[in-house]
Amino acid sequence: MLFNIYMRPLGGVIRGCGASCHQYADDTQLYISFSPTASDAVLSLQRCLGAVLQWMQENGLRLNPDKTEVLRVGGPVDGGLGNSLMYWGVALAAKSGVRSLGVHLDPTLTMETQVASVVRSAFFHLWRIARLRPYLDTGTLTTLVHALVISRLDYCNALYVGLPLKVMRKLQVVQNAAARLLTGVRKCQHISPTLAMLHWLPIRFRIDFKVLMLTYKALNGLGPRYLMERLLPPRSTRITCMSQEVRLRSLTTREARKERTRNRAFSAVAPRLWNNLPPEIRAAPTLDTFKSQLKTWLYIQAFPPVNI
């Protein structure tokens, strides 16, 4: 907490340079949005880095340039960011991928590197657990699977929304393997009844669950302000969870110019998922109530009852 207080003024320094930032403990990310044809992006970032350098010198800190990375997200035109930025005399060239809080990001945000990393790590832990399975009771086995495998599938999984089916399938294969390991179901048997028995939502529904939880928190003052700003139109007044008519404005075609934005942006996905919820779930008075009702509703969507 004391370190966060100590670092707080740095955000004002960065915003004073026309850039934005996110700070988490000792990790600070500054970012700037610019047109693909803009030529002054490098200069703006360089001025911002200079201001950061000065602030750190005045406050007895020094940033390690070897651990400072630059990522440009967008199309093929780089607007000059192909040229290296300089920090402490060290060139900071734009990289083909960086890791942010444990998530691998690439310039086109395909998330394929992140998914591959999660799948590789999850299967490694499944292999280790499988070797111990004969010596573990059911409770311990369940704890290990959740702690070492399922937690990896759920970590930052809101970033996977809208990914191609071939990428999502890789994550689903991991969950299926975890369910088979936990229950002893053979590969030749259909996995959906097993997932339903375990009350495990499939990957796609787990992602929707995370996005909707973030949406509820943002609308009710429990989440970051920048998410709420992407959900409500500028003219909207404060909305509380007590209103059953809470609906979110969807992006227009003009606002979501790119196909990728329409499919994956939080400001586009969250209103669509939220407006599809039954009114009584949107009007849940508490986060715990919303969470319980939402999981039940998604469970029914994932495993609809069979009419006999």
pLDDT at residue 39 tops 80: no
Confidence band, pLDDT 50/70/90 cuts, at residue 256 = low
Q: What letter represents residue 100's amino acid? A: S
Rounded mean pLDDT, 6-30: 87
Contact by Cβ (8 Å): 70, 60: no
In whole angstroms, give the CA distance from residue 241 to residue 105.
Answer: 34
In whole angstroms, give the CA distance from residue 19 to residue 104.
Answer: 23
- Angle (CA) 116-192-128 rounded to 5° is 45
**CB within 8 Å of 39: residues ≥ 6 apart:** 79, 80
pLDDT at residue 241 tops 50: no
The one-character DSSP state at 305 is P
Rounded mean pLDDT, 52-61: 89
**pLDDT value, residue 234:** 42
Rounded mean pLDDT, 69-91: 67
pTM, whole model, 2 decimals? 0.83
Most confident of 44-53, 95-104, 283-292: 283-292
Q: What letter represents residue 71's amino acid? A: L
Q: Among residues of the chain, what percentage have pLDDT more than 90? A: 47
By three-state DSSP, how is residue 276 classified? coil
**pLDDT value, residue 216:** 94
Rounded mean pLDDT, 115-140: 96
In whole angstroms, give the CA distance from residue 213 to residue 209.
Answer: 6
Distance of CA 181 to the CA centre of its chain: 27
Q: Which of 153, 158, 65 shows the shortest CA–CA distance to 109?
A: 158
Of 82-91, 240-249, 293-302, the range with the lowest mean pLDDT is 240-249
**pLDDT value, residue 23:** 84
Q: Which of 281, 302, 276, 307 shows the shortest CA–CA distance to 292?
A: 281
pLDDT at residue 236 tops 60: no
Pick the residue with more confidence: 84 or 214? 214
Name 98's bridge partners.
Answer: 105
Rounded mean pLDDT, 198-216: 96
Rounded mean pLDDT, 147-158: 96
